[in-house]
Chains A and B, each alone.
Chain A
Amino acid sequence: MKKMLVVDDESEICDFLKSFFEERDFDVSMAHSGEEAVLAVERLRPDVVLLDIHMPGMGGLNALRQIKEKYKRARVIMVTAIETNEKIDEAMRLGADNYITKPLSLEYLEREVQEKVASLSRKMS
């Protein structure tokens, strides 16, 4: 089973993402801040991370930097409320694999996640 970490300061968002992906056979964990996310990545070693950019505390971009330092293999999809280009560019430079804007289209998100997972297993084999 593929492991997924959902990071958003809005627990309701984490909740529905969790139920959605659990139905699709993912082992989903949640984190509500950047700091929590970094710790969770170290501990859980997830295959895919859904990471909100705009969060209180260290924020999504800093978390991304540390996640990539600690566990390079994780595929990170950034989640953002606004498509502000600088932030997206910065995230992509830091090693994010893609981004998606709120409100989320779950169909699109699922396709993206499956694709990343598939690319991971291709790499493994």
Chain B
Amino acid sequence: MSLYSRKLFINKRKRALKKLLVGLSLFLFGALIFYGVVLLGHGFLPYALLHHPLFPVSIMSLVALAAYKPLDMLYTEIFRRYLFKQRSYVHIMLMNLAEDLELVLDQQEMANMVVNTFGELLQLKTVALLVHEKECDHFRIVAAYGWNLSDYRRVEFSSEAPLMKLIRESGPHVVSRNRVVRTWDWKDANMLAHDFDVLQASWVVPLMVGDEITGALAFSAVNRDRVFDETEFQFFRKFAHAIARKVRNATLFLHLKQANEKLQDTQSKLMQVTRIKAIEQLATGLAHQIHNPLTIISGKAQVLLLQKDRVPLDERVLTVLKTIVEQTKRAADITKKLLMFSQGPDVPREPLHLESILEDTVALISYQTSLEQIEIKQTLHTGLPVVIANRQEMREVFFNLLLNAVQSIGSKGWIHIEMKHDAQEQQIEISIADSGKGIEPENIEKLFNPFFTTRDEALGLGLFVTKQIIHRSGGFIRAESRLGEGSLFTLRLPCEQEDAGKTGTTPPSNSKISQKSIRKAGLIFED
């Protein structure tokens, strides 16, 4: 940026200097002519004319009119000679850049540096850096200067495109649009011109490593008539040669990184699947082994509780029996919860309005609460499209997330729930933020693991089951947190195409966004 403004500044100064010099020269030249006319015309021009005050003015005006253009051109030419010095400065800068690229490994960063510096120093209109993608044998623009951001991302060339063929045939030379279109006696001349147009370029310099074309630099000037001379073309070749290997290395590095990420992703998915399978087996075994004794304990207690025609039991015994029945049910719920996700693919799914489910869950939480001062703020966009999922599961998801938030806050704080539609991705995004104590950075990754918990009394299955449900419904969930400030859970679920409003389980609302009132409540919870 600073380079660019400096260039502008230099140019302005240069133009002013030129104007001044032209003006001075015109004045001197006019004065000389006038002097000559007075000297030569002393005998035969009338005295009155020679001494008329308008005479020198008109002579000088005539001279100025006649000599302005040639003088201006003369000075421009002289300045161009000076400009030669300037050009070498540009060249030095660009070659320095090429050297600096040695230290850059990130392809995008490198490409941006190349196109921006190249474009700014040479004051070009557009610059685009194409890179050869070996995998699909395509050329793709990775960075562009003077382009619309979304435009260049779409540009892709097959290596069989006429322009690329031409480059392959012509070697490392600069290809100029004008020259090619004018002189190329080829049936594909039109297609070549088209390729240049797509690249918004007048010149293309191939980046070559040995015989291999690894990319190309395509650029155009602001002024359509701008021409580069042979020395400049030679410099472009030199520059292209200097950066070609570096660009290729960065591309290779990027591919390596991508492949590595893919591998890690697959590996972690596999790990996850294996882990889930193991838990599933464990839970099934547990259910069989534990549910029978639980059934016996609970059954016998119930027999006593529900006995007829016998002596009524002592009140204390009744309480104990009731506790036995309740607690065996609680124990059985653990394995049921664990089994919930193993049965996932079979649960019935239906189109759901998440906002109404969320409201039900919020009501459930606020009912449970009694004293803690926790504000629940909701920003729900109404008329959201439906999501295909299981109602019970979605309730479980919201309940788990809200309960977590509440437990993280303890007392006094806020929970902010926002739900919106991302039309581009066809997804519903739900974010639940809280002002709780936050999550330690090293725990964020483990958050969704089974049996991970930071509270003694908790089971550590809530977020695990939540994640499984979200994944099964084709969505994903992410957690962010700052220790001491709070946490943010964001989940995204794929939604159906617009048919919201027809199946109206959402309460009608006039305003687009309904700010739900705030509930102050206290919370008693179990996990």
Contact = CB atoms under 8 A, between A and B. Distances in A.
**Is the interface on chain A under 10, 10 to 19, 20 to 34, or 35 or more residues?**
20 to 34
A118 interface: no
Interface stretch (B80-88, B199-207, B264-272, B285-293): B285-293
For B295, B308, B309, the residue with the greatest tally of chain A CB atoms inside 10 Å of its CB is B295
Contact of B295 (A24, A83, A104, A107): A104
B307 interface: yes
Interface string A3-36: 0000000101100110110011000000000000
B352 to A, nearest CB: 20
B299 A106 contact: yes
B346 interface: yes
A105 B299 CA distance: 8
Contacts of A13: 292, 295-296, 299
B306 A10 contact: no
A55 B300 CA distance: 21
B346 to A, nearest CB: 5
Contact of A16 (B291, B303, B309): B303
Contacts of B335: 82
Given A13-B299, A16-B296, A103 B291 contact: yes
B296 A23 contact: no
A75 interface: no
A54 interface: yes
A20 B294 contact: no
B298 interface: yes
Max chain A CB contacts within 10 Å: which of B298, B302, B308, B335? Answer: B302
A2 B121 CA distance: 100
Given A81-B287, A102-B332, A10 B296 contact: yes
Interface string B296-321: 11111011001111000000000000
B136 to A, nearest CB: 43
Interface in A94-112: 102-107, 110
B339 interface: yes
A20 B288 contact: no
B328 interface: yes
Given A13-B296, A16-B299, A102 B307 contact: no
A79 B335 CA distance: 17
B379 interface: no
A16 B300 contact: yes
B329 interface: yes
A125 interface: no
A77 to B, nearest CB: 14
Given A23-B307, A106-B306, A85 B346 contact: yes
Contacts, number: 70
Contacts of B339: 82-84
B307 A103 contact: no
B108 interface: no
Contact of B328 (A10, A82, A85, A103): A103
Given A102-B295, A103-B332, A104-B295, A82 B300 contact: no
Contacts of A54: 288
Contact of B303 (A10, A19, A82): A19
A103 B288 contact: no
Nearest to B329: A103
Contacts of A106: 299, 302-303, 306
Contacts of A81: 287-288, 291-292
Among A10, A13, A103, chain B packs the most CB atoms within 10 A around the CB of A103
B408 interface: no
Contacts of A19: 303
B284 interface: yes
A20 B303 contact: yes
A82 B298 contact: no
B163 to A, nearest CB: 60
Contact of A103 (B298, B303, B343): B298
Interface in A49-82: 54, 81-82
Max chain B C-beta neighbours (<10 A), residue from A82, A105, A106, A107: A82
A113 to B, nearest CB: 13
Given A13-B292, A23-B309, A82-B339, 19 more contacts: A10-B296, A12-B300, A13-B296, A20-B299, A23-B307, A81-B288, A81-B291, A81-B292, A82-B287, A86-B346, A102-B292, A103-B294, A103-B298, A103-B329, A104-B295, A106-B299, A106-B303, A107-B302, A107-B306
Interface of A: 10, 12-13, 16-17, 19-20, 23-24, 54, 81-86, 102-107, 110
20 contacts: A12-B300, A13-B295, A13-B296, A16-B299, A20-B303, A81-B288, A81-B291, A81-B292, A82-B287, A82-B288, A82-B335, A83-B339, A83-B343, A85-B343, A103-B295, A103-B297, A104-B302, A105-B302, A106-B302, A107-B302
8 nearest A-B residue pairs (beta carbon): A81-B291, A103-B298, A106-B302, A102-B291, A102-B295, A16-B299, A103-B295, A12-B296
Interface of B: 284, 287-288, 291-292, 294-300, 302-303, 306-309, 328-329, 332, 335-336, 339, 343, 346
